[in-house]
Amino acid sequence: MPQKDCPELELVKRLVKKEQLAWKELYNSYSRELTSICRRYLNGNDDIHDILQNGFIKMFHNIHSFKYMGTGSLKAWMVRIVINEALQYIRAFSKMQFSDIDEELMIKEDDQEPELSDVPMEELIKMIKLLPDGYRIVFNLYVFENKSHKDISELLSITEGSSASQLHKAKKKLVHQINTYKQLKKGGL
């Protein structure tokens, strides 16, 4: 049950009234995090700006339908809108490919997951961004958004098997990239 003095709930009430300062507060509070989420899905800064802007426009027009479910529900709602906007953009403008056989054959099977403690987070993010579109999008949805293969298949209009396959290939490629990074660091390059 929402509390009367909950800052998030009070902000939502002000947003529903279309208070300009409330929308500015919302933007200032969440735009950096929402931009980071967009960066996981898209590479171009102009695209990211467009997605974020479209997301905020959609939030503005649909805030009246938002249902407050407790602390964090506003953020969850916003994240869902931004991810959906990014996926719509990708479906419309990206040549998302879900298989690259030649590349697959070059990556040797690596049974063990690598130790990540000595790989900086910035490097991991760069590696994820270098994944082919299909791999990266499925990986992000599964790992960061906790989507099931069923959910991913519906979002991307692919089969659950394709989703699972893309995730497996993404993980294989990331293991290869991480091991290569560690070898280069070990060799002093």
CATH 1.10.10 placement within the chain: 101-186
pLDDT in tens, 4-46: 558 899 999 999 999 999 999 999 999 999 999 998 888 777 8
Report DSSP state, residue 70: S
Looking at every residue in the chain, the average pLDDT score rounds to: 85
pLDDT at 90: 84
pLDDT at 23: 96
Distances (CA, A) of 183 to 57, 108, 176: 46, 15, 11
Confidence of residue 54 (pLDDT cuts 50, 70, 90): very high
pLDDT in tens, 144-184: 999 999 999 998 888 999 999 999 999 999 999 998 888 88
Confidence of residue 98 (pLDDT cuts 50, 70, 90): low
Q: CB–CB of 180/187 below 8 Å?
A: no
Phi, psi of 90 (to 5 degrees): -60, -45
Q: Does residue 101 surpass a pLDDT of 60?
A: no
Query: DSSP for 105-134?
Result: HHS----SPPP-TTS-HHHHHHHHHTS-HH
CATH class of 7-93: mainly alpha
User: In angstroms, rounded to a whole number, what is the distance separating the alpha carbons of residues 149 and 56?
Assistant: 28
Q: CB–CB of 138/163 below 8 Å?
A: yes
The pTM is what? 0.76
Confidence of residue 105 (pLDDT cuts 50, 70, 90): very low
Compute the C-alpha angle 144/150/151, nearest 5°: 50
Q: Does residue 49 surpass a pLDDT of 70?
A: yes
Considering only CA atoms, give the Rg of the chain.
19
pLDDT at 102: 39
CATH 1.10.1740.10 placement within the chain: 7-93
Phi, psi of 131 (to 5 degrees): -65, 145
Which amino acid does the sequence have at 154?
E
CATH of domain 101-186: 1.10.10
